[in-house]
Structure 1
Amino acid sequence: MMIWLLLLGAIALLLFRAYRNTFDVQIKEVAIPLQKSRHLQQPHEFEPVSILHLSDLHMENLSVLPQSIVDDFSQRQVDLIAITGDLLDREKNIPKAVAFVQCLQQLQPALGIYVVFGNHDYVLSPFKLAQLKSELERVGCRVLINENETIDHKGQPLHIIGVDDFSTRHSNLAKSFYGVPETGARLVLTHDPNIVLHMKEYAYDYLLSGHFHGGQIHWPRPFHLATMGKLPKLNIVKGLHEMDGRPFYISEGLGQTGVNIRLRSRPEITLHVLGSDAPFNEMAAPALTLQETAATLALD
């Protein structure tokens, strides 16, 4: 009997700790130089742009208040806010998601707030998804669904390319990149990073994504990610990586899915400085080419 009580106590303590982890937000900073950009005639003259990146908000299981994000970054330069999908799972939380994003407008990002949808957003009916899009645009966001937009950043063009969710087969790369001018920095926003395996012919300077939650329950290993595409099989589930010489980033996300707990992972907010003179941050995993990736997967 005593053994069972001790076991139940240990499980309860572990679950409590896992729940508390959802409040323990890690704030990361990533520097991305553009010296090798094929789209900038004078890369060294590009004024750095600061991008506040949030992903996987999951309003149903979110322990972080938007005002706390505003407070943390109120004294920092934030030029653009990027939200890479999975705002919610249920239509009743549309007002909550919109209010969350609207609160972030207090940071007054000069280049605006850009949003792409993820697989959980597509749980909504088409009518409700259109409502979510409309409400986000009402509070000043730009929602990109396989489309792009060019904005002026201190006299230089910055192309924001929004690729819709790959895992639910809503992505369309040809449509997303259609009409993007040859000159100017290219920033891709998408939810599922597996799309990078199909982007060899689509040039970009940096890509932001989410989807994997860093495993969320990463103990002893996030075996459940094995069904979420090829990148997890290569242990590419979070952080900064390269594919074909181009950097992409996978956020661990801000909210949780399924249950509101995290083990060996934490909610993440990331500030990316695109065009920084600093070298790349240390890679979270070795850079891979498409050929190396295919060879590795063939061994599975």
Structure 2
Amino acid sequence: MSASSILKKSAVVTAGSLVAGVGYASLIERNAFAVREVTMPVLSPGSSPLKVLHISDLHMRPQQRRKQDWLRDLARLEPDFVVNTGDNLSHPKAVPAVVQALGDLLSVPGVFVFGSNDYFGPRPKNPLNYVTNPTHRVHGEPLPWQDLRAAFTERGWLDMTHTRREFEVGGLLIAAAGVDDPHLKRDRYETIAGPANPAVNLRLGLTHSPEPRVLDRFAADGYQLIMAGHTHGGQVCLPLYGAVVTNCELDRSRAKGASQWGAHTQLHVSAGIGTSPYAPVRFCCRPEATLLTLIAAPTGGSYEGIREGQSHPSVSVR
């Protein structure tokens, strides 16, 4: 076989593999919803366990029935507490779909902050910008975030945007604080700055985009756990390499899941549930929610011992 024939055959094989990969990422994996289970020792010593469902980055469109059915079934996990870290919307008429999909979860105590795609709709973007110019911003049409906020708060969820609150869940006292989306540079940490109450069972910080400048402030104020979304876990990951980008200043190794931030703070970044309609692919990074079991940290403040289970299929996928 001539060299030119070998090159042509290689090109055909490469093109075929690329097409197959894109087909898998866009048709199969982006709809392969999963629930990941993680145990994190972050509560004050002596605290009883707390089951927390972390959801983020729904990027909902009205006709996404499969995603909506899967979200509705998450109530079967019976969490004690729900944390929503933003980017719920991807269409100006998606608020009813989000509210109906969350269903019974809205009757569970919950908190939320918003992300960029609660305020502005998606627009086509050059995917190379995520690598070469990650700070580039292109805003779409305004989205009805006020309607979404009203729907959440009417059901009892607490808006943590630039707010500090203390409340009780499952017999535990939680001191929570949150900022507006750092991805849009809407964060004003000074509005919530100051040491968190050391007498509570959990000190919880919330942000949509896990920008290190914000994470550092939460850690300095004594928050035991920070929860964020935005990264989509990288959305496109490579075997043995992981996330290609995080779309923020967070390093790739923390693109999803639990990690330590500083000496006494844990970080959990959700891989998210949806995608932009202009980049409807996931590769080696399934869409997921996370069920965190928070347990008491060992006396002395050591936060070693995070146990992360395997992703498993959703409780009911249709």
> TM-score band, normalised by the shorter chain?
0.7 to 0.9
**1:4-153 correspondence runs (5 A):** 9-19=16-26, 20-34=28-42, 37=44, 43-44=45-46, 46-60=47-61, 64-71=66-73, 73-74=75-76, 76-105=77-106, 108-109=107-108, 112-123=109-120, 128-153=144-169
1:137-173 deviation digits (Å, cap 9, x = unpaired): 2344322211122112344421222222112112222
Instruction: State which drifts further: 130-139 or 243-252.
Output: 130-139
Residue 282 of structure 1 and its aligned partner are, at CA, apart by 4.8
Question: How do residues 1-300 of structure 1 correspond to structure 2 at under 5 angstroms?
Answer: 9-19=16-26, 20-34=28-42, 37=44, 43-44=45-46, 46-60=47-61, 64-71=66-73, 73-74=75-76, 76-105=77-106, 108-109=107-108, 112-123=109-120, 128-177=144-193, 181-184=197-200, 185-194=202-211, 195-219=214-238, 222-225=243-246, 228-229=248-249, 231-232=250-251, 235-245=253-263, 246-257=265-276, 258-276=278-296, 280-282=305-307
Contact 1:64 1:254 in 2 (8 A): no
TM-score computed with the length of structure 2 as normaliser: 0.73
**1: CA distance, partners of 2:99 / 2:72:** 15
- After superposition, the C-alpha distances for 1:69-108 in whole angstroms (9 at most, x for unaligned) are 443552x441111111111133222222232233533xx4
CA contact (8 A) 1:213 1:252 kept: yes
The structure with the largest helix share of the pair is 1
The change in CA–CA distance for 1:154 and 1:132 in structure 2 (over 3 A counts) is closer
- Deviations 1:171-217 (CA, angstroms, capped at 9, x unpaired): 22232356954421211221111221343422111111111111111
- TM-score where L is the length of structure 1: 0.77
Letter in 2 for 1:273: T
Shift of 1:48: 1.6
The offset of 1:63, in angstroms, is: 7.4
SS at match of 1:193: coil
What is the RMSD of the two structures over their aligned residues, measured on CA atoms?
A: 3.2
Gaps of 5+ in 1: 38-42, 285-300
Amino acid at match of 2:221: Y
Gaps of 5+ in 2: 122-140, 299-303, 310-318
Tell me how far apart the structure 1 counterparts of residues 142 and 20 of structure 2 sit (CA, whole Å): 42
Distance 2:219 2:167 in 1: 25
C-alpha separation in 2, matches of 1:83 and 1:139: 14
